[in-house]
């Protein structure tokens, strides 16, 4: 067996660990994206509710203004009935006319806003339906992501044990070289092609390096990138 086989086996385990670690980092990001999307949907619902509440408040205020003006009109008409002079009567008439105009304007504003209420109520119902639908989907998807994350972590724990066993089979000097290089180059161990090209950096190695690979020496490094070379595993 080629002596570098133990390194390649270790590298296979490390490759799976790298993939799972990337997935473990990506899963929370995807969950955060879904939560942000749901938050945006709920924000739209809040806006619709606030718009409806504001419209209802304006209707109530208009009705209150109109009622207050009408009550004042009735009070002034009572005073007008007992006016002591024509001047006083005319002054009260002007005041009554102004208040009646205010009441009409307040009623008009209230009626106009009341016409908007059904549309705003529909908008709230639509936003509530969308929020409810999204909530179920997001919760289900997030639960799937959580379950997958648990699986990934469990698999990483298992692979950590397997890696430790694989590492024991590698020559200590070779393992030290591998561990140092894998933080800078990946993969660390790569095939040397039939035309003497390193499959890591895709450059041709010198004949002397090729000869060492042919003799199946355990640690033969590419003179260009430093990766460990092998052939015919």
Mean pLDDT by 10 residues, the chain (233 residues): 88 97 95 90 91 94 94 91 89 91 92 92 91 87 94 97 96 95 95 94 95 89 95 74
52 and 85 within one domain: yes
In sequence order, the 6+-apart residues with CB closer than 8 A to the CB of 127 are 41, 44, 45, 47, 48, 49
pLDDT on residue 101 = 94
Tell me the CA distances in angstroms from 168 to 5, 122, 173, 190, one per residue in order: 13, 68, 12, 21
106 and 30 within one domain: yes
209 and 131 within one domain: no
For 226, the domain range is 177-230
pLDDT on residue 218 = 81
> Where a domain ends, among 124, 139, 169?
169
Report pTM.
0.68
pLDDT on residue 1 = 62
27 and 135 within one domain: yes
pLDDT on residue 233 = 63
How many angstroms separate the CA atoms of 52 and 124, rounded? 8
Closest to 76 in 3D by CA, of 98, 95, 90, 61: 95
108 and 188 within one domain: no
pLDDT on residue 38 = 87
| Domain count within the chain | 2
> Where a domain ends, among 169, 197, 220?
169
> Where a domain ends, among 153, 169, 185?
169
In-domain check, residue 8: no
């Amino acid at each position: 067996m080629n002596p570098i086989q133990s390194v390649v086996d270790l590298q296979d385990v490390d490759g799976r660990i790298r993939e799972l670690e990337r997935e473990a980092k990506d899963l929370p990001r995807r969950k955060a994206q879904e939560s942000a999307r749901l938050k945006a949907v709920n924000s739209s619902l809040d806006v619709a509710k606030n718009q409806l509440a504001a419209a209802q408040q304006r209707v109530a205020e208009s009705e209150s203004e109109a009622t207050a003006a009408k009550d004042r009109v009735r009070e002034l008409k009572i005073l007008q009935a007992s006016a002591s002079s024509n001047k006083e009567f005319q002054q009260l008439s002007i005041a009554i006319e102004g208040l009646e105009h205010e009441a009409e304007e307040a009623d008009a504003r209230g009626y106009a806003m009341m016409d908007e209420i059904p549309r705003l109520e529909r908008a709230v119902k639509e936003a509530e339906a969308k929020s409810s639908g999204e909530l179920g989907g997001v919760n289900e998807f997030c639960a799937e992501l959580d379950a997958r994350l648990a699986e990934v972590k469990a698999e990483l724990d298992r692979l950590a044990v397997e890696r430790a066993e694989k590492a024991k089979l590698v020559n200590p000097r070779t393992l030290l070289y591998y561990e140092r290089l894998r933080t800078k180059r990946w993969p660390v161990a790569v095939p040397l092609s039939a035309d003497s090209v390193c499959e890591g950096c895709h450059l041709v190695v010198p004949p002397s390096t090729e000869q060492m690979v042919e003799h199946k020496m355990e640690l033969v490094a590419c003179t260009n990138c430093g990766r460990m070379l092998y052939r015919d595993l």
